[in-house]
Chains A and B, each alone.
Chain A
Amino acid sequence: GAVVSQHPSWVICKSGTSVKIECRSLDFQATTMFWYRQFPKQSLMLMATSNEGSKATYEQGVEKDKFLINHASLTLSTLTVTSAHPEDSSFYICSARGESRSGNTIYFGEGSWLTVV
């Protein structure tokens, strides 16, 4: 089946630094990738929709200058958390839309735990 790989799985960084998270579709081309954030015991919150070769579309309340998203190829999207603060500590998950006979199957990466100290 389709696989989405996310890296790193967990990262600890100092407050004020930037962290990059990669999301790769391993065996399919993903024209659209989605970035989510999830707090403990809560559901996934969509942060932005990333289309290959164009600017990401951010959800209301998500700072685009803080959460930089780049989707440079059909298999790779990156999320950079800039000037991270402890309140940015969270579980970040990417997903990618893979083409199937049904045309609309979305697969998730394993997620990345970010802890800002």
Chain B
Amino acid sequence: QKEVEQDPGPLSVPEGAIVSLNCTYSNSAFQYFMWYRQYSRKGPELLMYTYSSGNKEDGRFTAQVDKSSKYISLFIRDSQPSDSATYLCAMNPGRRALTFGSGTRLQVQP
């Protein structure tokens, strides 16, 4: 079993929809959780960074962490075609390398 599980998609939604992206993990030592957006042929771009359980909002993005269920989510409101990319969840127990999910490909249709 992988330490971090993420549905690879692709996920196709119409413009303006609310997108829900999710990851589950098995290592209870993970304490820091991040979401990255990666456009084709580019390096990952940090979107959200969370430490504790609960919600964190930044513009159209909301990151949610439920440590008791080992489940994290990223919500995108009012999705735009420019949001079309691969979204990677990542986590680590502290000052170490990140463990990534496989990434979910999102396509927002105009």
B102/A32 in contact, CB under 8 A: no
Distance of B2 from chain A, by nearest CB (Å): 10
Determine if A102 is an interface residue (Cβ-Cβ < 8 Å).
yes
What chain B residues lie within 8 Å of A42 (beta carbons)?
102
C-alpha gap A5/B103 in the complex (Å): 23
- B interface bracket (residues with beta carbon within 8 Å of A): 20 to 34
Against A, the Cβ 8 Å flags (1 = close, 0 = not) of B25-36 are: 000000010101
B32/A110 in contact, CB under 8 A: no
Main secondary structure of the interface of B (DSSP, over half): loop
What chain A residues lie within 8 Å of B42 (beta carbons)?
110-111
A108/B36 in contact, CB under 8 A: yes
A6/B43 in contact, CB under 8 A: yes
Using CB atoms and an 8 Å cutoff, list the residues of chain A in contact with chain B. 4, 6, 32, 34, 42-44, 46, 49, 91, 93, 95, 97, 102-111, 113
24 A-B contacts (beta carbon < 8 Å): A4-B43, A6-B43, A32-B95, A42-B102, A43-B101, A46-B98, A91-B41, A95-B98, A102-B51, A103-B95, A104-B32, A104-B92, A104-B95, A105-B46, A105-B49, A106-B90, A106-B98, A107-B46, A108-B36, A108-B45, A108-B46, A109-B43, A111-B41, A111-B42
